[in-house]
Amino acid sequence: MTKILKLAAIASMALAIPAAAAVTFNVGIGSPVDTIPGNNNFQSNLNAAGLYLYTAGGATISLSGKATVTFEFLGSESGFSDSFSARAGAIGISENSSFTAWNPVALGSLVYNAGSINDWIFTSAGGAQNKGIGSLEFGIFLPRGAVANGSYSSNVLYLGFDDQITGDDDNHDDMIIRVTAEDFGGQGVVPEPASWAMLIAGFGLVGAVSRRRRGAAGVAA
């Protein structure tokens, strides 16, 4: 019986301590949500990543917690010199090619605090310039089921630039960037009051069992 009580106390303590919540990007989806078109040169790559839709105008991106954000260049399809930058050029890349095949290239990492992100910028020497999150030219690729004015959360986002928003080239494949968020420094979650109560009760139960054993040992002596 004593062994069972100990195990119950240990289990209650384990349950009282929540695991650290994984940090995520939270996307406020704009309107409308469109299907990635067939003339997007990276449609198959995006589909393989589970992405079939995209949002652009009116979208927002925020982080649920402090995170290390890693940036990767994936590919481009543009005759212009296009570029991406974060935090005023702390992260950046420029491409001047008609086509660069899908091939992840690490660009580096930055630390972001929880909250809105507004320093990711696409620009083009010959097309749209200085376009940030929420502009028509700044696409965020989404999985099936995403709806206009809804939300989407993931620790990985794929971003696409459209340097000419009108005409047949409206497909957000002129530059593709992948961003990945990881918890910064193992930031954890502070237990809620109810969890603290369960934790204290668990310690109390262990103490009570220990006292009973000492008392029984004294009587036997």
Q: 149 with 211, same domain?
A: no
Q: Which residue intervals of the chain are DSSP H helices?
A: 2-16, 43-48, 193-220
145-171 mean pLDDT: 91
Task: Count up the domains in the chain and report the number.
Answer: 2
DSSP state of 53: E
Residues listed for the chain: 221
Distance, CA of 22 to chain centre? 9
Please report the pLDDT score of residue 112 as a whole number: 98
Q: Name every residue whose Cβ is closer than 8 Å to that of residue 97 and which is 6 or more positions away in sequence.
A: 76, 78
Q: 119 with 172, same domain?
A: yes
CB atoms within 10 A of CB 3: 8
Please report the pLDDT score of residue 18 as a whole number: 47
Q: 10 with 73, same domain?
A: no
pLDDT at 121 over 50: yes
Q: 102 with 15, same domain?
A: no
Spatial separation of the C-alpha atoms in residues 205 and 198, rounded to whole Å: 10
Exposed (0-12), middle (13-18) or buried (19+): which is 157, by Cβ within 10 Å? buried
95-106 mean pLDDT: 93
- What CATH number has the domain bearing residue 118? 2.60.120.400
- The boundaries of the domain holding residue 213 are 2-19+191-220
Question: pLDDT grade, residue 97 (50/70/90)?
Answer: confident
Q: 112 with 34, same domain?
A: yes
Q: 71 with 175, same domain?
A: yes
Q: 202 with 128, same domain?
A: no
Please report the pLDDT score of residue 204 as a whole number: 52
Q: Name every residue whose Cβ is closer than 8 Å to that of residue 171 and which is 6 or more positions away in sequence.
A: 36, 37, 39, 40, 162
Q: Which of 14-23, 91-100, 168-177, 178-187 is the most confident on average?
A: 91-100
Q: 7 with 53, same domain?
A: no
Question: pLDDT grade, residue 210 (50/70/90)?
Answer: low
Average of per-residue pLDDT values in the chain:
83
Q: In the chain, at which residue ranges do the beta strands (DSSP E only) sit?
A: 25-28, 33-35, 53-55, 60-63, 67-75, 81-86, 91-96, 105-112, 115-116, 120-124, 131-132, 138-142, 151-154, 156-161, 175-183
Least confident of 88-92, 175-179, 206-210: 206-210
pLDDT at 154 over 70: yes
Structure tokens at 118: 């507004």
Q: Look-up: residue for tokens 């968020």? A: 181
183's enclosing H/E stretch is: strand 175-183
Q: 80 with 163, same domain?
A: yes
Structure tokens at 130: 């200085």
Which residues lie across from 168 on neighbouring strands? Answer: none
Q: Which tens digits make up the pLDDT trace of 22-70?
A: 999 999 999 999 999 999 999 999 999 999 999 999 999 999 999 999 9
Please report the pLDDT score of residue 11 as a whole number: 44
Please report the pLDDT score of residue 81 as a whole number: 95
Instruction: Calculate what percentage of the chain has a pLDDT beyond 90.
Output: 68
